Amino acid sequence: MASASLLKTSPVLDKSEWVKGHTLRQPSTSAVRCHPVAPSGLTVRASSYADELVKTAKAIASPGRGILAMDESNATCGKRLASIGLENTEANRQAYRTLLVSAPGLGQYISGAILFEETLYQTTIDGKKMVDVLVEQNIVPGIKVDKGLVPLAGSNNESWCQGLDGLAPRSAAYYQQGARFAKWRTVVSIPNGPTELAVKEAAWGLARYAAISQDNGLVPIVEPEILLDGDHGIDRTFEVAKKVWAEVFFYLAQNNVMFEGILLKPSMVTPGAECKDRATPQQVADYTLSLLRQRIPPAVPGIMFLSGGQSEVEATLNLNAMNQAPNPWHVSFSYARALQNTCLKKWGGRPENVKDAQEVLLIRAKANSLAQLGKYTGEGESDEAKQGMFVKGYVY
Amino acid sequence: DELAKNAAYIGTPGKGILAADESTGTIGKRLASINVENVEENRRALRELLFTAPGALQFISGVIFFEETLYQKTASGKLFVDVLKESGVLPGIKVDTGTVVLNGTNDETFTQGLDGLAQRCQKYYEAGARFAKWRAVLKIGTIEPTELAIQENANGLAMYSAICQQCGLVPIVEPEILVDGPHDINKCAAVTERVLAACYKALNDHHVMLEGTLLKPNMVTPGSDSPKVAPEVIAEHTVRALQRTVPPAVPAVVFLSGGQSEEEATINLNAMNKLKTKKPWSLSFSFGRALQQSTLKAWGGKAENVAKAQEAFLVRCKANSEATLGTYKGDAKLGEGAAESLHVKDYKY
């Protein structure tokens, strides 16, 4: 695409110029942020990483592939391990993540993997760096950079997402370790409003995080999750989603984020989990595509949906319905539970089950790959895969 | 839905809009340039010349009228709107009432026309109009456009759009960033992106249905006092700006010519349609001067020149139609003035 060549870039710096945790880099000379007389006059959407960001985003948004979200915090990973009777130790977390990243041929269906900080610096049980295994599999390593949700003062019991303090040096360090994209998850709750305040805070936080990420070579995944909790109908979800995305893009633009170098991670437009009226995959697809068409500029290369508590099969069916006709952006998946659930159960913590568990993971990954291409047929799905995974008031 | 249908129709590949909505004062300047008196009959005659040009209307999906023209007839007594309807062309109407200087700025403006707009739109709909146009104007300077000017104009566009849709008219959203100035193409791109982002935010906040709107932006070019660049460069910068700001729900982008010569405007539009990149909206034209200039010169106000003038008009219509398909070969017979710049410094409609 012509756009990348139009951006002024300076060469990506040699890693040897980095000192962990500190930056020796001079402020980017190609990003002229203000005209001396006119602070608002000249904006250039570029950092010294512009070309690389575009390339990375495109690689992740490649046809037939999506993201494996495996960035559960230690506490959340603990819940997963507990569900199969395992203790929450670093060794067990290491064993589980090793299983995931070493699944043979995973890179055919998975273009990126989001890691938690511990995993980014971990080795597999055979002593290889997790990031190296991923790169060999042609999977781009990513890193969760937010520091979780906390109560938002002055709101209607809503949350906001922390993590901006020190984000720049942290991002630079993650880049040095091999991460090439980042993720920040904020939430919006429909039963609580959402209030103007909560929506603006969510959007503004995402915009600041995105700008800082790009400045440090990481493609930001922009994730404002509209929680499934509630008994509202699909029309209400649609209304809130339109508002949220309008705010997000407005602030992204104000923060001079380069859209060709971001990815989005939205929730699909569905009824609330407790709503009596369910929706078919076709309805979910229609509403969700309308939302995207009305709010997402085509410069964004990829839209990677979160599963948010849908069952493995539901999440695949809905994605498939959205890919029955060509879209101006790559419409794909960034699934955690919807990729890992059955695999985790199959493993049960036993080394002898690793191969079978990896098989199961590949089955789900392939199903979603087909869904991305609009070719999923749903044959041979197990009952386990069809089980819903919604947890009321889910806390990561 | 009628709005979405009409908006999509206007963006039909191979067609575009003839902007014939010059106010009485402005059309007077055009007529003066060919030594023709600015009286109603002459204004009527010029528009009749355009609307009855044989073979031209097949390349036109919509015509923007000034209020006076909406109610005018051909010499044989047929309403202009009916002439258009018979050829499948949608009539449109300019609904803004001009620009006014924004207090406390360095000659930045906002656009008036919201008072009584709903009633006027209803009247226009009854008279046959199916789309409307409102021109907001911004300029590039050392500190311009200011946040105030951007917000004020974006908000005006959004309110006008919401009202139009309530009355069955497809609103054309026109945030023109004037070409005047010594700035380079990158500056124009940055400003255009900022302005369009603000416009779509305002439209979203006002619950405007994007599928039932059209966008009429400036192309992204160097300033008028800056060296020219190749059409491909203009095309790349312009399409990139749109990719970053215009959601795919908008069916068509119909560019204004803003002082480019007839041939320049066509060639630039053509370059955009040749670009192989993501373009979920169709890219077409809404040209005033860039469709009428050589026609006007050929006419000179004389009845015996009408056929010649209509031929000149057909040439430009066909060329621009090809440009919307990316097939224009630059071989249109150039009428007198077709390559002449139409830029007037600090242009006031």
pLDDT digits (tens, 9 = 90+) for A260-309: 999 999 999 999 999 999 999 999 999 999 999 999 999 999 999 999 88
- pLDDT for A17: 35
Record: contact B248-A298, CB cut-off 8 A: yes
CATH number assigned to the domain with residue range A49-377, chosen from the 4 options 1.10.3720.10, 3.20.20.70, 3.40.50.2300, 3.40.50.970: 3.20.20.70
A58, A144, A183, A265: the catalytic one is A265
Task: Examine the residue annotation and report whether B85 is marked as an active-site residue of this protein.
Answer: no
Tell me the nearest-neighbour CA distance from B185 into chain A, angstroms. Answer: 11
- pLDDT for A4: 42
Among all chains, which residue has been given the structure tokens 């599928």?
A: B211
What average pLDDT is seen over chain A? 88
Span B200-209, mean pLDDT?
96
- pLDDT for B347: 60
Specify whether the CB–CB gap between A203 and A248 falls below 8 A. yes
Look at residue A9 and tell me whether its pLDDT is greater than 50. no
Going by C-alpha positions, the residue among B284, B117, B170 that lies closest to residue B216 is: B284
Tell me the nearest-neighbour CA distance from B278 into chain A, angstroms. Answer: 6
A52, A72, A117, A223: the catalytic one is A223
B15, B139, B216, B297: the catalytic one is B216
- Rounded-to-integer distance, Cα B316 and Cα B335, Å: 9
Going by C-alpha positions, the residue among B255, B170, B253 that lies closest to residue B209 is: B170
Question: What domains does chain B contain, in order, with CATH numbers?
Answer: 1-348 (3.20.20.70)
- pLDDT for A7: 41
Q: Radius of gyration over alpha carbons of chain B, in Å? A: 19
Look at residue A37 and tell me whether its pLDDT is greater than 70. no
Record: contact A298-B187, CB cut-off 8 A: no
Specify whether the CB–CB gap between A194 and A237 falls below 8 A. no
Residue of chain A whose alpha carbon sits nearest to that of B141: A41
Look at residue A30 and tell me whether its pLDDT is greater than 50. no
The type of residue at A20 is: K
Specify whether the CB–CB gap between B187 and B142 falls below 8 A. no
Look at residue A192 and tell me whether its pLDDT is greater than 60. yes
What are φ and ψ of residue B313, in 5° steps?
A: -65, -45
- pLDDT for A370: 97
Look at residue B66 and tell me whether its pLDDT is greater than 70. yes
Among all chains, which residue has been given the structure tokens 């007529």?
A: B31
Going by C-alpha positions, the residue among A13, A78, A60, A41 that lies closest to residue A220 is: A60
Q: Radius of gyration over alpha carbons of chain A, in Å? A: 20
What pTM was estimated for this model as a whole?
A: 0.84
Chain B residues whose C-beta is within 8 A of a chain A C-beta are 142-143, 146-147, 186-187, 190, 193-194, 197-198, 200-201, 204-205, 210-211, 236-237, 240, 243-249, 275, 277-280
Quick check: A43 contacting B, CB < 8 Å? yes
Tell me the nearest-neighbour CA distance from B108 into chain A, angstroms. Answer: 15
Task: Examine the residue annotation and report whether A223 is marked as an active-site residue of this protein.
Answer: yes
Look at residue A102 and tell me whether its pLDDT is greater than 90. yes
Look at residue A8 and tell me whether its pLDDT is greater than 50. no
Residues in chain A within 8 Å Cβ distance of B278: 1, 298-299, 328
Percentage above 90 pLDDT, chain A: 81
b/e burial code for range B234-246 (CB count within 10 A of at least 16 → b)? bbbbbbbbbbbbb
Contacts for A121 with CB less than 8 Å, ≥ 6 apart: A177
**Strands B60-65, B214-215: pairing kind:** unpaired
3-class secondary structure, B168: coil
Query: What confidence tier does A392 reach under pLDDT thresholds 50, 70, 90?
Result: low
Question: Is the link from the previous residue into A39 a cis peptide, with omega within 30 of 0?
Answer: no
Percentage above 90 pLDDT, chain B: 93
Tell me the nearest-neighbour CA distance from B181 into chain A, angstroms. Answer: 14
Contacts for A355 with CB less than 8 Å, ≥ 6 apart: none
Residue of chain B whose alpha carbon sits nearest to that of A246: B201
Residue of chain A whose alpha carbon sits nearest to that of B139: A41
Mutate to test the interface with A, among B208, B275, B278, B283 (most CBs of A within 10 A): B278
Record: contact A299-B236, CB cut-off 8 A: no
Express each pLDDT in A124-147 by its tens digit: 999 999 999 999 999 999 999 999
- pLDDT for A27: 39
Contacts for B311 with CB less than 8 Å, ≥ 6 apart: B53, B298
> What are the strands, taking DSSP E only, across chain A?
66-70, 110-115, 140-144, 149-151, 159-161, 181-188, 219-226, 263-264, 302-305, 330-335
Query: What confidence tier does A22 reach under pLDDT thresholds 50, 70, 90?
Result: very low
Tokens linked to A27: 């402020």
Bin B113: left if φ > 0, else alpha if -120 < ψ < 50, else beta.
Answer: left
